[in-house]
Amino acid sequence: MWEISDYLFADSPPEAVSLMRQGPGKGIYLAGGTDLLLNPPECDFVVDISRAGISNIARTPGGDVFLGAGVTLQDLATNELVTSFAGGELSRVASQCGNRPVRNLATIGGNLCNARSSADTAPILLALDATCFITDQDSQESLPLDDFFVGPQQTILENRLLVGLALSAEVSDRRCASSKLICRADNMALAHVAVGVDCREGRINAARIALGAVAPIPLRATLAESTLDGFDINSEDKETLSEMICDVAELAAGEVDPIDEHRASSEYRRDLVRVLTRRLLEKVLAEIAAESALNDGGQS
């Protein structure tokens, strides 16, 4: 049994932080618990945030989608605001996490706050430029998800609480795709890649390649991304385009630092980054090309 002396419920995010700081002893936030309860950490008390009012999904007046940190992966998989956002890739990712009973408990906040390099929701959220909202007892802060992870299983939070995330209306039409290979024994990702591309009149004006399970933290392959900036997908012939995609995938594979352990070798994980990045970019760029051909056809 988990040796804790107190189990506290927080009614609001500031109350959660205040309970956490009050003590006595060392406390821990508990959301879904599907990861925490596998290896309960040594602590004195638990602050249960499942009743802190942060389990909502809402559209803001500006058209952004707000995801409360307590939203379960099952809700992410099925909520219409999420299934209709940027092609619904975040919903698809959520629907493939663990198994149904786990998705019914596991939360998006918990997935990110555990800060495992293999966190399933991290790559697609990075590819969607998600913003994190963090609360302290009497102050709030927001920052890009890119700055949230600071080391293996370490976030920027300390005792503060992640309240939720926002996906900007500006990326609601971003063309996204993601893919992962998992270890069958424990469902942990061996390599996970998410890509997102914004195109205007055939020209790429934002490209994201986000990677999980292949470095100490989830991260973006910024060098590979920048190679895609400004690229005109209609001006090149098929072969040049396909060579360019292969080069970008090679670059992305060069930006990772995978661990060598029993689930998979570093060499294999790195090669998976190359293969998955190439396939996802091929898919996304082909979709964009097909869509622009359709639009051109409609105009003529």
Partner 1 sequence: MRIELNLNGEETSWEVAPGTTLLAALHQASSLSAEDSCLRGHCGSCTVLLGGRPVHSCLVMAARVSGCSVTTIEGLPGEGREGLVRVIRGASLEKAIELGCSEIGWEQKKPSTVPHLERCIGRSDESSPQFGVQFVDLEVDPETGEVFLRKIVSAVDGGTMSHPLMTDKQIEGAVVQGLEYALFENDEASGPFGAKAAGEVPIDGPAQAIINAISDAVGIHINRIPATPERIWRAIKESKEES
Residue ranges that bind partner 1, judged by CB under 8 A: 1-7, 30, 32-34, 37-38, 40, 45-46, 48, 50, 74, 98-102, 104-105, 181, 184-187, 264-265, 268, 271-272, 275-276
Min dist CB 161 to partner 1, Å, is: 18
- Using the minimum distance from each CB to partner 1, give the nearer residue, 5 or 142: 5
Q: Provide, rounded to whole angstroms, the least separation between the CB of residue 3 and partner 1.
A: 6
Q: What residues are paired with 151 via a beta bridge? A: 154
The residue among 209, 184, 195, 210 whose CA lies nearest residue 264 is 184
Which residue, 185 or 294, has its beta carbon nearer to partner 1?
Answer: 185
Q: For partner 1, which is the closer residue by CB, 33 or 88? A: 33
Roughly how many angstroms between the first and final C-alpha of the chain, as a whole number?
70
Q: Please, which residue, 13 or 27, has the CB nearer to partner 1?
A: 27
Q: Extract the tokens encoding 82.
A: 């999420």
Q: Which residues contact 5 (CB under 8 A, 6 or more apart)?
A: 25, 44, 45
Residue closer to partner 1 by CB (options 175, 270) is 270
Closest contact distance (angstroms) between CB of 160 and partner 1 is 22
Select 41 or 62, whichever has its Cβ closest to partner 1.
41
CB of 102 to partner 1, least distance (A): 5
Nearest approach in angstroms of CB 70 to partner 1 is: 12
**Cα–Cα distance measured from residue 287 to residue 90, given in angstroms and rounded to the nearest whole number:** 18
**Neighbouring residues of 79: CB distance < 8 A, sequence distance ≥ 6:** 57, 71, 91
Least Cβ distance, residue 57 to partner 1 (angstroms): 17
Q: Which residues contact 49 (CB under 8 A, 6 or more apart)?
A: 10, 13, 16, 29, 30, 31, 69, 70, 161
Rg (CA), the chain: 20
d(CA 175, CA 171): 9
- Least Å distance, CB 38 to partner 1, is 6
What are the DSSP E strand ranges found in the chain? 6-9, 27-30, 45-48, 57-59, 65-68, 131-135, 140-144, 149-151, 154-155, 161-167, 175-182, 189-200, 203-212, 219-220
Query: Which CB, 30 or 128, lies closer to partner 1?
Result: 30
Interatomic CA distance for residues 213 and 146, integer angstroms: 15
